[in-house]
């Protein structure tokens, strides 16, 4: 019998990871901080409350993570950077915030809960969360292509921070008010406002992403991030102030919900711009003969990708996996070319060569009979 087409592609060159990842040593440092943080929660809340808070905090974290994945589907970020962003928010930002809050309390004897909620918390928390986004820009600039990437990294840092903070809030609610108070806290923080911290820090990420698209320096990214940080602080203070001084549910539906809807509409507009840019860059390759115009439409539009995957499913052996690889490599190729055009990627030539080889081999495997 004639052999069937190979189920997988032969070994192909891959784009270099240099400038697109963070060192494992940073995860090691975060691991030590995590041990200290776990010890703090067990000491402050006890084992039972900590475990209950942990389990419940996973629910809003999952909601936010799935939402961010939808934003990030067009050009997914490297998995290690996604893990680092969540870990920075959940471990480093929380730990550093606790240290600063403790120091401020000891030095200035700040006892006002209103001041802490509306002034201190927004400034301290957003600073440390924003620092995580800025570190990703510095360490993995080749994976920081624009505003959408900034929103993704900022939202993931915020989601990680909210996860750890929710453990504390849920655990304290269980200790102080039992199941009834825990239910109220979970509904307010876990179901009504799971995206709050993600939305705050996304402001900082968005500002840094604007600079990243224009090949900005670290200094210009820092300046833009500071402007975004001000927006994040103001949103955070507004949120906490509505819960402290005003009718929370009244402001929630009249102000917070419209802000969230506006945030979503802004992301949709940015996604469309990202798709337009992908199509423009792939059209450059089509003009040189690497893709057909029909392939560009298939690769650079949501409807075209859907049709392409449906077509690949009907091929012998269900070749959707190959089509997904074709789409992923072509999208990354468009990003590489955009970075090369702006002059912000010294490794663009090598990555371009590897991705062109990969897309050509994947197309051949898709069409093989």
pLDDT tens, residue by residue, 77-133:
999 999 999 999 999 999 999 999 888 888 887 777 888 888 999 999 999 999 999
> What is the mean predicted confidence (pLDDT) over 242-269?
83
CA 318, CA 151: separation in Å to the nearest integer?
Answer: 35
Q: Residue 3: what pLDDT?
A: 47
pLDDT tens, residue by residue, 279-303:
999 999 999 999 999 999 999 999 9
Q: Residue 247: what pLDDT?
A: 74
Structure tokens of 71?
């934003």
> What is the mean predicted confidence (pLDDT) over 343-359?
90
CA 112, CA 361: separation in Å to the nearest integer?
Answer: 64
| Confidence class for position 223, pLDDT limits 50, 70, 90 | very high
In the chain, where does DSSP find H-type helix?
A: 24-45, 47-71, 79-87, 94-108, 113-115, 121-139, 147-185, 196-213, 218-244, 248-251, 257-287, 293-300, 302-313, 320-341, 348-367
pLDDT tens, residue by residue, 29-51:
999 999 999 999 999 999 999 99
Task: Give the contacts of 272 (CB within 8 A, at least 6 positions apart).
Answer: none
| 194 contacts 79 by C-beta, under 8 angstroms | no
Report CA Rg, the chain. 23
CA 19, CA 346: separation in Å to the nearest integer?
Answer: 10
| 197 contacts 263 by C-beta, under 8 angstroms | no
**C-alpha dihedral (231, 237, 238, 240), degrees to nearest 10:** 140
CA 243, CA 261: separation in Å to the nearest integer?
Answer: 20
Q: Residue 87: what pLDDT?
A: 96
- Axis crossing angle, helix 94-108 with helix 24-45, rounded to the nearest 10: 50
Q: Residue 2: what pLDDT?
A: 44
Separation of first and last alpha carbons in the chain: 14
| Confidence class for position 312, pLDDT limits 50, 70, 90 | very high
Write the Ramachandran bin of 291: left for phi over 0, alpha for psi from -120 to 50, otherwise beta: beta
Q: Residue 13: what pLDDT?
A: 83
One-character DSSP codes across 207-226:
HHHHHHHTT--HHHHHHHHH
Structure tokens of 192?
């009504």
Q: Residue 1: what pLDDT?
A: 45
Q: Residue 317: what pLDDT?
A: 86
| 207 contacts 105 by C-beta, under 8 angstroms | no
| 203 contacts 228 by C-beta, under 8 angstroms | yes
Q: Residue 269: what pLDDT?
A: 93
| 160 contacts 235 by C-beta, under 8 angstroms | no
Average pLDDT over all residues of the chain: 90
Q: Is the pTM of this model over 0.85?
A: yes
**Is the pLDDT score of 6 beyond 70?**
no
């Amino acid at each position: 019998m004639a052999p069937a087409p190979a189920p997988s592609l032969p070994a192909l060159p891959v784009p270099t990871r240099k400038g697109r990842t963070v060192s494992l040593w940073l995860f090691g440092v975060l691991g030590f901080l995590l041990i200290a943080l776990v010890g703090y929660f067990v000491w402050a809340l006890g084992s039972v409350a900590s475990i209950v808070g942990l389990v419940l905090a996973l629910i809003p974290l999952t909601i936010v993570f799935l939402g961010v994945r939808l934003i990030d589907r067009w050009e997914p970020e490297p998995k290690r950077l996604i893990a680092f962003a969540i870990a920075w928010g959940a471990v480093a930002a929380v730990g550093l915030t606790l240290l600063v809050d403790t120091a401020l309390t000891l030095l200035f004897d700040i006892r006002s809960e209103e001041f802490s909620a509306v002034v201190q918390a927004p400034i301290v928390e957003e600073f440390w969360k924003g620092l995580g986004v800025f570190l990703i820009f510095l360490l993995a600039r080749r994976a920081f292509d624009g505003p959408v990437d900034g929103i993704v990294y900022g939202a993931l840092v915020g989601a990680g921070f909210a996860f750890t903070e929710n453990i504390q809030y849920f655990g304290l609610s269980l200790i102080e008010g039992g199941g009834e108070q825990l239910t109220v806290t979970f509904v307010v923080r876990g179901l009504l406002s799971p995206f709050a911290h993600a939305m705050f820090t996304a402001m900082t990420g968005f500002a840094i992403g604007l600079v990243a698209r224009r090949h900005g320096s670290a200094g210009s990214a820092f300046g833009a991030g500071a402007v975004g940080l001000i927006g994040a602080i103001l949103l955070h203070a507004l949120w906490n102030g509505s819960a402290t001084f005003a009718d929370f549910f009244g402001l929630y539906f009249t102000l917070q919900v419209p802000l969230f809807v506006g945030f979503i509409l802004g992301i949709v507009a940015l996604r469309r711009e990202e798709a337009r840019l992908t199509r423009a860059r792939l059209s450059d390759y089509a003009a040189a003969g690497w893709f057909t115009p029909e392939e560009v439409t298939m690769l650079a539009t949501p409807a075209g990708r859907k049709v392409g995957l449906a077509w690949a499913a009907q091929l012998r052996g269900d070749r959707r996996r190959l089509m997904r690889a074709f789409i992923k490599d072509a999208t990354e190729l468009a990003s590489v070319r955009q970075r090369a055009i702006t002059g912000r990627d010294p490794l663009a030539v090598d990555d371009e060569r590897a991705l062109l080889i990969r897309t050509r081999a994947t197309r051949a495997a898709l069409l093989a009979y």
